[in-house]
Structure 1
Amino acid sequence: MFVRIVKMGFQEDKIDEFLANFEENKAKIRGFEGCKFLELYRGKDNTNQFFTYSYWEDEAALENYRNSELFKNVWANTKVLFNEKPEAWSVDKVVSLE
């Protein structure tokens, strides 16, 4: 399982705009071919920080999403709200306990 974690920091007065954009697009992202799981987290100590956590069939599925009109539109509306440069990690799941 290919996992993508993205850390984003937002201007305080832009958080509601980000959350509205995420709410509007979360089902489309989750429904994108190859996306198996999607969650959004908010920092406990720094509430301006958010993290997306998504599972993809493979790297090609994530790249297909990143090259899609859906991603381009979501990202265009998201990146203008940042207060810091986003960070992203691609990892392989090794163990999962239910």
Structure 2
Amino acid sequence: MFIRIVKMSFHPDKIEEFLDNFHQNKKAIRNFEGCRFLELYRGKTDDNIFFTYSYWENEKALENYRQSGLFKNVWAKTKVLFNDKPEAWSVDKVTSLD
């Protein structure tokens, strides 16, 4: 499993535009070949910061998504809304408790 976390910070007046774009595309992203899980989080104290948390079958699956028309369309509409540089991490799950 390949886990990806992306932190994004938006201009306050652009948050609704981001959320509209995300909600329009979230099912297509989640159903993209190789995507096994997708969540969106919002900061509690800094509500212009969002995180996507996704599971991919492997790094190649994520790369295929990043090269897809779907990603290019979503990212083109998203990156113009940022008020800070996005950050991304690929991580390994160490422990999971139910």
TM-score by length of 1: 0.98
Matches within 5 A, 1:31-50: 31-50=31-50
- The CA RMSD measured in Å over matched residues stands at 0.5
One-letter code aligned to 1:29: I
- Check if 1:18 corresponds to 2:18: yes
1:96: how far off?
Answer: 1.3
Partner of 2:72: 72
Partner of 1:52: 52
- The superposition leaves residues 22-74 of structure 1 with CA deviations (integer Å, 9 ceiling, x where unpaired) of 00000000000000000000001100000000000000000000000000000
The SS at the match of 1:83 is coil
Q: Following the alignment from structure 1 to structure 2, what is the Cα–Cα distance between the partners of residues 44 and 56?
A: 26
Q: Following the alignment from structure 2 to structure 1, what is the Cα–Cα distance between the partners of residues 72 and 44?
A: 29
Consecutive unaligned residues of structure 2, counting only runs of 5 or more, are none
The number of aligned residues is 98
Q: Following the alignment from structure 1 to structure 2, what is the Cα–Cα distance between the partners of residues 17 and 4?
A: 23
Higher mean alpha-carbon deviation, 87-96 vs 67-76, is at: 87-96
- Structure 1 outlier segments of 4+, above 6 Å: none
The SS at the match of 1:94 is coil
Partner of 2:7: 7
Consecutive unaligned residues of structure 1, counting only runs of 5 or more, are none
One-letter code aligned to 1:14: K
- Check if 1:92 corresponds to 2:92: yes
